[in-house]
Structure 1
Amino acid sequence: AREHGRKSISMRFCYKYQYFKICHTKGHNFLSYVFAKYAAKWGLMPTVEFNDIAEEAIQRDASLIAKHKHVLVKGWCVRFYDLFIKHKAEIIDLFSFDAPILKKTRDFMGEKADDELRLGVHIRRGDYKTWHNGKYYFEDADYQNYILQFQSLFPNKKITAYICSNDPMLDKESYKKHLKGIRVVISQGGQEDDLCLLSECEYLIGAPSTFTLVAAMYHDLPLYWIEKKDEALSLNSFDKFNHLFQNIR
């Protein structure tokens, strides 16, 4: 939309996930959501669905948007990688956290010590138990192994590991027990607090997920996606947002 001088709203942020600047910008309200949803449902507004990841299909669907004054865009394959990077600064600004959330997070983390290094760890469970046959579902011991490997990369630093998870049965005590010499902090907030907390760390580790990817986006943090439970970790294992984002498939 920005590339072609069109105005746009994100329907999900008209009524849900009310944690970001975009939710308070012009047009982002529940009335806009209802209007767009039912206008499309009743055939008063055309819908363009991005359901094919092939580049030619994406460009074909994009051309349909330009033919209409108002159009509803949907689908998992809206993937304009280059344009996202081009407009990333504006996107980061639009999705900046509301001040109370950011303050709450920074108060929770406290002042950083000179010799402290903050590692954010996202333990994704839930749907990952079955998604892709559990390919990225890892046990506590696997995450703990990577945290200890991370510690070994910085022998002169005091590591604080901030643990965020969607697993209500997470064995929190096992992390404090097995991560010797590491200060372990378990997140106590909701998903918005977890995302903000991860974004305020210095390094990130987690299973492949857009949750950690978005967290890394805010301050261009080094991120390591665990794809196998027994890989050796090095500083070269970490990557930045632009590369990871442009290679999502």
Structure 2
Amino acid sequence: MTVLNPAFEEYAEFFVGTAGDFLCSYPPPYFTVGGNKLVRSKYYNFIKYLSKQKLLKTQEITRKKPFSWLTYQDIAQIKNGSIVCFQGWLFRDGWFVEDLPYLHKYADQIRAYFAPLERYRINVDRLILNLKDNSDMLVGIHIRQGDYAQHQKGRYFYTTQQYLEVMNSVVRLFEGKKIKFLICSNIPQNPSLFDNFNCGFGSGHLIEDMYAFAECDYVVGPPSSYTMWASFYGDQPLYMIRDVNKTINLKDFVHFYEWQGIFHERDDWSESFWEWTHAR
């Protein structure tokens, strides 16, 4: 089976496995045709048109429940050699739970496919080298505000002051260690607010910040697939802030292969959410 992912057009230019293949296919083809944002966008819209006109067989992934290939009932109807279009963005919901054994088994192949291009890796390596100089450990802090003010009615929106308190909790947890923090945020932060900490700031680039988190010894942030991916890619322990007032314990940091999740469904899908736990 070959998977083509035209919907990845917004991010394809950043990764080794997709930058040179405008089809965004997996497994990677023997011969590829490069593309750019314009070409990818037209390709994506063309596929959407064919699907809408019912010129492609289309399977709709609805929001009734989290999607998982392990429980997908219609896969038996897909014939060898056929072309089927899957529509809906919920493919990732549940993938860290039901599909976790496969994520673990094929981790190296997944990481290789989604390795950032060299120009981003160089920037990440330079940043991490500077940050790790003269420190015992590097802790990434993901300050996600902006969209999180409205997301799930602000369930995981925390003020900068609250993040500072979380950082204080980290310092107390690793008392006696020279800790340096990497601060990355989706909105500009006032650097002077962090003067009491030994820290540096990410470049602000979507990919560079995420892959810089992957190089940290520990990662801290609100529940988000952004830091979950960084934790997976770098195989580094992650602490998801669900209670901003909680005193952090070392056992609260978990590796990706320990994740478990409980899905809380609400009548209003936008209020449905995952509560991430771990296997211990």
Range into which the TM-score falls when normalised by the shorter chain: 0.7 to 0.9
**Residue in 1 that maps onto 2:147:** 127
Distance in 2, matches of 1:158 and 1:95, equals: 32
Measure, in 1, the Cα distance between the counterparts of 2:19 and 2:260. 26
Identify if the C-alpha distance between structure 1 residues 42 and 245 changes in structure 2 by more than 3 Å, giving closer, same or farther. farther
For the structure 1 residues 183 and 55, does the alpha-carbon distance in structure 2 shift closer, same or farther, using more than 3 Å as the test?
closer
2:5 aligns with 10
Contact 1:115 1:156 (8 Å CA) reproduced: no
Could you tell me which of 14, 17, 22 is aligned with 1:22? Answer: 17
Aligned-pair CA distance for 1:41: 2.4
Change (3 A) 1:15 1:225: closer
* Residue 242 (structure 2) pairs with residue 227 (structure 1): yes
Once the two structures are TM-superposed, the CA of residue 95 in structure 1 deviates from its matched residue by 0.6
Q: Offset of 1:175 from its aligned partner?
A: 1.6
Query: Residue 45 of structure 1 contacts residue 70 of structure 1 at CA under 8 Å; is this kept in 2?
Result: yes
Show structure 2 runs of 5+ residues with no match. 25-34, 264-273, 275-280
SS of the equivalent of 2:4 reads coil
Deviations 1:84-127, CA, capped at 9 Å, x for gaps: 34333221111111111011111122253464210111111112
Question: Pick from 230, 233, 237: which aligns with 1:215?
Answer: 230
Q: Does 1:108 align with 2:127?
A: yes
* 2:168 counterpart of 1:173: no
Q: Deviations over 1:159-181 (max 9, x none)?
A: 1101000113x2321122xxx3x
Deviations 1:59-95 (A, max 9, x none): 2143344477111123243245144343332211111
| Deviations 1:134-185 (CA, angstroms, capped at 9, x unpaired) | 11000112111111111122223211101000113x2321122xxx3x3111
Query: Structure 1: which 5+ residue stretches go unaligned?
Result: 1-5
Residue from 161, 166, 176 that aligns with 1:146: 166
SS state of the match for residue 172, structure 2? helix
RMSD: 2.6
Tell me the equivalent position of 2:110: 91
Aligned to 1:201, the other structure's residue is in SS state coil
What TM-score does the superposition give when structure 1 sets the normalisation length?
A: 0.84
**TM-score (normalizing by structure 2):** 0.76
